[in-house]
């Protein structure tokens, strides 16, 4: 009788241990990324124009902070299309950036099948545009 109660308890404890502590890991990763350039010595940026990848890097960071990876991957279809597949379908221009940013905020279905993309109404329009610019840069 003890074994019937022990197994669910052990599995539950394992599940909670695996899910917990995510915030500390993110904070440690952020602080280690911030200091990596300082401790590793000077980084040669002579071949990079100032601000060249700023929108792309900001867009990737914004995507990482949202729930996008629940349904999308960079290379392959998950629930929704992969980012590279989106980049192949849409030309990287202001009109498409505007349209796709609205789609990210409002959600919808029909362009990639019947599964609807959930809306993200709390997302600012400029942030959605940066996210779309990053996605469209993946061609």
Q: Is 68 annotated as a binding residue?
A: yes
Residue 41 is given by DSSP the state: -
Q: Is 19 annotated as a binding residue?
A: no
Three-state secondary structure call for residue 117: strand
Q: Is 1 annotated as a binding residue?
A: no
The sign of the CA dihedral 99, 121, 83, 62 is positive
Nearest-angstrom CA–CA distance, 127 and 121: 12
SS3 content of the chain, % helix, strand, coil (to 5): 60, 5, 35
Nearest-angstrom CA–CA distance, 89 and 86: 5
Residues annotated in a binding site for heme c: 68, 72, 117
Residues placed in the known binding site: 68, 72, 117
């Amino acid at each position: 009788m003890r074994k019937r109660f022990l197994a669910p308890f052990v599995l539950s404890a394992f599940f909670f241990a695996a899910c917990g502590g995510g915030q500390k890991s993110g904070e440690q990763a952020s602080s280690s990324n911030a200091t990596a350039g300082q401790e590793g010595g000077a980084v040669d940026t002579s071949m990079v124009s100032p601000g060249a990848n700023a929108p792309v890097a900001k867009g990737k960071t914004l995507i990482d902070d949202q729930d996008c990876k629940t349904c999308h991957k960079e290379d392959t279809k998950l629930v929704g299309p992969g980012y590279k597949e989106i980049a192949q379908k849409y030309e990287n221009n202001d009109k498409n950036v505007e349209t796709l940013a609205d789609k990210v905020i409002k959600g919808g279905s029909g362009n990639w099948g019947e599964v609807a993309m959930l809306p993200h109404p709390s997302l600012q329009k400029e942030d959605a545009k940066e996210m779309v610019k990053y996605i469209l840069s993946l061609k």
